Chain A
Amino acid sequence: MKRMKLTQQEIVLAVFTALFLAFALFLPGFFTAANMLSLLQNVAVLGILGLAMAIVVLGRGIDISLIAALAVPPGLLLQMVQDGHSLFASVATALLLSLAFGIVNGWLIAYAEVPSLFATLATGLFLAGVGQASLFSIDVVQWSKGMEGFQNLGQGSILGVPTPIIMFAISCAAVAFFLRRTRWGAYIYAIGDNPNAARVTGIPTRPIVVLQYVLASLIGCFAGFVMAASINSMPTRIFNSTLIYDVILVVVLGGIGLSGGRGGVVNVIIGTFLIGTLLNGMTIMDVPYAGQNLIKGVVLLLAVITDSFLNPRNEETAQQGDI
């Protein structure tokens, strides 16, 4: 018996296409080159974070500490430059901090075997707390002299394309290459699909898990660089915002199952575009804030409900570790 089966990815793609066409037809000023670029630019950082989250979720984990990784090391960079350190030393320190943070996350999850949800919840709070208590003098770390050149990561454009979009594209290409063309990437899929089988096959599962969190932390830090460069400051309070839900949303909505092993960069791109289109369209229409949340919620619910109708979960498809 053959039944028409749509994947979550296809459903979201359909929703995205429908929305996009509707906006393009009925919303003057939406489908212009300039607006398309600003649409993409506005979700570039979210997209980069989505890539980091995807790497972790593919291996059946989750990284709630991603926003701390986005806020604290780049915040430290800006603070150090403000305090008179050189740009190079500050960038190096920020990257080292991210690296250390990723290793701690990975170690806790792979070796101490703490569930990823709790481990990263705690480490994220810890890192944000350290930042607030001892690294930054005020929440919004301001741009200062000595940062010259750094703003090119997030401002201006190359051949007419705003830099954040290019940064997102480069990240997509790098992560896609890593996941699809390297052995380590294949290992991540194997672990996500069935960790026990992966270990029995001889895959070094623990080091690979550490690698996932290190990559997530470093990509998060990179997203933070782009963001700081783009708005000339680092509002470290962003840790307290709901950004992490948007990141999970992009990933899950795009069709990367939280149970691991399914999906890839394309899913992140689709999820990011959907959110971007929604936000941009609503801003042009000047929809009030409360209305925006309502619409966002309805579209997401539609996508999720359609998915559970078309792909019902049962004992066969459900995996252990499903959230």
Chain B
Amino acid sequence: MRLTDAIKAGAIALGFLAGVTADALAEEPGLDEPFQKGFKEALAGKAVAFVPVAMNIDLTEGWFAGLKKELEPLGMKFELRDPNWNTNAGAQAVTSLISEKPAVIVAHNPDVQTYAKLFQRAEKEGIFIIQVNMGSAYRSAGLVGANWISVGEQETEAVVKACQGKSNKIAIVQGALSAAASAYQLRGVYNVLAKHPEIKVVSSQAADWDAAKAKAITQTVLKQNPDLCGVIGFWDGMDIGTAAAVKEAGLTGKVFVATSGGGEQKAACDLVKSGDFDLDLSYDVPTQAKQIAALIKYLLSSGTKPGDTKGLAYSTLVHVTKDNADKACWKLSDLKQ
């Protein structure tokens, strides 16, 4: 290339650049990001419906508050259908939502079967289904939640470790037998116990997510086996009763109490700090809420159709122990602000 050509090319390039900037200056400063407008349009005015098992529990209140915070600023409509522990009412809510056609239904299943067929229909009708924490037999666009098998496994590993050199007698306090979350955890527990034949399960009973029942069962078990070295509980809201029985027997610190929950301050950290629980596996509700929101944004802006993608986002479990009980939890009152 000759010098003059280079100069010519340079001049043309300069002139072109000047022209472009002049054009840009004439309109607006800065660069237009090419995707955000489409994103906004894809989301604004769309409806998201939330069908929990019931409101008024730390988990569902947390998801609701977290989602509301993320979705409403985008101009989305966020509505709640609260079946209040009534499975039939929940199925009705999902059915009526199918005809109302929101863009997304976020659902918290009472069991694995009830909503499964309805979800299939909903996705055929063009509604994305995102399931939270308790999944159904139908694999929908997304699931954000704890991996219950891991919850059971990790709790059991902790209890087995605490039992080393002790009696090796443990008790299991299950939730409700019909709940998948309880049955899956139980499988996780036995996955680990299969590797530890020295551990003896002296009691494995369902307390129906009820603290009073959990206390009654644990009390009786402790009277029969005062040398018990650990209890595996399936939900911290229920295991307050388990811990109360251990405390009343004067065995706090001697009987290792492991449980799991949403990681709310009063339900988890406060009780770990006071020594009632030795381990509370938290699936960290605010993070779950953010992940659900991210999934909604992703699905609606991607242009995919319901039924095209089916993914899972299992939550990372936070081990709440005395070491991190000061900062591992969240407060419902903060999230609601």
Residues of A within 8 A of B (CB): 29, 32, 34-35, 38-39, 41-42, 45, 132, 136-140, 142, 144, 155-156, 162, 227, 230-233, 235, 237-238, 240-241, 279-280, 283-284, 286, 288-290
Inter-chain CA distance A237–B235, complex, in Å, is 15
Bitwise, B199-221 to A at CB < 8 A (1) or not (0) is 00011111010111001110111
Inter-chain CA distance A34–B249, complex, in Å, is 11
Interface of B, secondary structure class, is helix
Complex contact B244–A286 (CB within 8 A): no
> A279 — which chain B residues lie within 8 A by C-beta?
216
A-B contact pairs, 11 of them (CB 8 A): A45-B212, A132-B84, A156-B248, A231-B215, A231-B244, A233-B211, A237-B54, A237-B56, A283-B221, A286-B202, A290-B177
Complex contact B220–A38 (CB within 8 A): yes
Q: In residues 279-313 of chain B, which contact A (Cβ within 8 Å)?
A: none
Complex contact B223–A38 (CB within 8 A): yes
**Does B137 sit at the interface, judged by CB under 8 A?**
no
Complex contact B212–A286 (CB within 8 A): no
Nearest chain-B residue to A131 (Cβ)? Answer: B56
Nearest chain-B residue to A283 (Cβ)? Answer: B220
**Nearest CB of B to A155, in Å:** 6
**Does B332 sit at the interface, judged by CB under 8 A?**
yes
Nearest chain-B residue to A276 (Cβ)? Answer: B216
**Nearest CB of A to B142, in Å:** 26
**Top 6 A-B residue pairs of the complex, sorted by shortest distance between their CB atoms:** A42-B216, A289-B206, A142-B266, A283-B220, A139-B56, A231-B241
Inter-chain CA distance A288–B201, complex, in Å, is 13
**Does B85 sit at the interface, judged by CB under 8 A?**
yes
Complex contact B237–A235 (CB within 8 A): yes
Q: Which of B56, B85, B247 has the most CB of A within 10 A?
A: B56
**Nearest CB of B to A235, in Å:** 5
Nearest chain-B residue to A282 (Cβ)? Answer: B205
Complex contact B244–A140 (CB within 8 A): no
Complex contact B57–A232 (CB within 8 A): no
> A232 — which chain B residues lie within 8 A by C-beta?
240, 243-244, 276
**Nearest CB of A to B222, in Å:** 8
Inter-chain CA distance A45–B212, complex, in Å, is 10
Complex contact A42–B57 (CB within 8 A): no
**Does B58 sit at the interface, judged by CB under 8 A?**
yes
Nearest chain-A residue to B82 (Cβ)? Answer: A132
> B267 — which chain A residues lie within 8 A by C-beta?
140, 142
Nearest chain-B residue to A33 (Cβ)? Answer: B223
Complex contact A238–B56 (CB within 8 A): no
> A240 — which chain B residues lie within 8 A by C-beta?
85
Q: Which of B202, B215, B217 has the most CB of A within 10 A?
A: B215
Nearest chain-A residue to B243 (Cβ)? Answer: A232
> A132 — which chain B residues lie within 8 A by C-beta?
56, 84
Give 16 new A-B contacts, CB below 8 A, not counting A42-B220, A231-B215: A32-B223, A35-B223, A38-B219, A138-B58, A139-B54, A139-B56, A140-B57, A140-B58, A155-B247, A232-B243, A232-B276, A233-B211, A237-B85, A283-B217, A284-B224, A289-B177
> B215 — which chain A residues lie within 8 A by C-beta?
230-231
Inter-chain CA distance A238–B215, complex, in Å, is 14
> B85 — which chain A residues lie within 8 A by C-beta?
237, 240
**Does B61 sit at the interface, judged by CB under 8 A?**
yes
Complex contact A235–B57 (CB within 8 A): no
A29 in complex: contacting residue of B205, B211, B224, CB < 8 Å:
B224
Inter-chain CA distance A41–B57, complex, in Å, is 28
> B223 — which chain A residues lie within 8 A by C-beta?
29, 32, 34-35, 38
> A35 — which chain B residues lie within 8 A by C-beta?
220, 223-224
> A137 — which chain B residues lie within 8 A by C-beta?
56, 61, 332-333
**Nearest CB of B to A232, in Å:** 5
Inter-chain CA distance A230–B216, complex, in Å, is 10
Complex contact A227–B224 (CB within 8 A): no
Complex contact B221–A140 (CB within 8 A): no
